Homo-oligomer: A and B are copies of this chain.
Amino acid sequence: MDRSGDAVDVRVQRSKAAVLAKTYELLTSGGIGGVSIDEVSRRSGVAKTTIYRHWPSRAALLVEACSTIGTAPPVPDTGSFGADLAALTEELAEQLRSARWAAVLPSIVDAAEREPELAGLHADLHARLMAPFGAVTERARARGELAADREPADVTAAIAGPLFYRRWFSREPLDAAFVQRVVEDALGQLSVRPHSP
């Protein structure tokens, strides 16, 4: 019966796609509270049984629906770490302001906090979101703009820290001035040296 792996049954793909699409639709229209498995099933025409076959819980479905959406931005390559960082930070701020995943991340964080099995999902999502910062950081280290002991984690802490804090904790607007200052402060504290090629 071995379908040799790659012919994974087209129906599975179809079902998952339909479910994710409707989940996304409900998510954007009614927030997380507006997504119920029953409703997704009703609208997508995919049986509830099937949904539970593919996702262990409502939370898992939400996570995937969001992570599909929360695709990391392309890694910029301007030639200088500063410009790369500014571009990425602006993009991140923009997503925090408007992207669907930004409204859902706290519930994922919360889930990760109390259900260890969901912590993995959180880690995946986080890694995906932060990957571009890692990439430009590595490049900067290779070019000597950044000291060798500066880790990608330091960069994300310096950038995402203040942004996330402002988005979810102080709940003030993420205006351009704030974003710019965050970039400058980060560059300052990371002791970035100008790149001379």
Contact = CB atoms under 8 A, between A and B. Distances in A.
Interface of A: 30-33, 103, 106-107, 109-110, 112-115, 119, 122-123, 126, 130, 153, 156-158, 160-166, 168-172, 182, 185, 188-189
Nearest to A184: B189
B109 A169 contact: yes
B114 A103 contact: yes
Number of copies: 4
A187 to B, nearest CB: 10
Tell me which of A32, A33, A113, A126 has the highest count of chain B C-beta atoms within 10 A of its own C-beta: A113
Nearest to A185: B189
Contacts of A107: 106-107, 110, 113
A164 B189 CA distance: 18
A106 to B, nearest CB: 4
Nearest to A125: B169
17 contacts: A31-B113, A32-B114, A33-B115, A110-B110, A113-B168, A119-B171, A126-B170, A153-B172, A156-B165, A157-B165, A157-B170, A161-B161, A161-B164, A161-B165, A161-B166, A164-B169, A185-B189
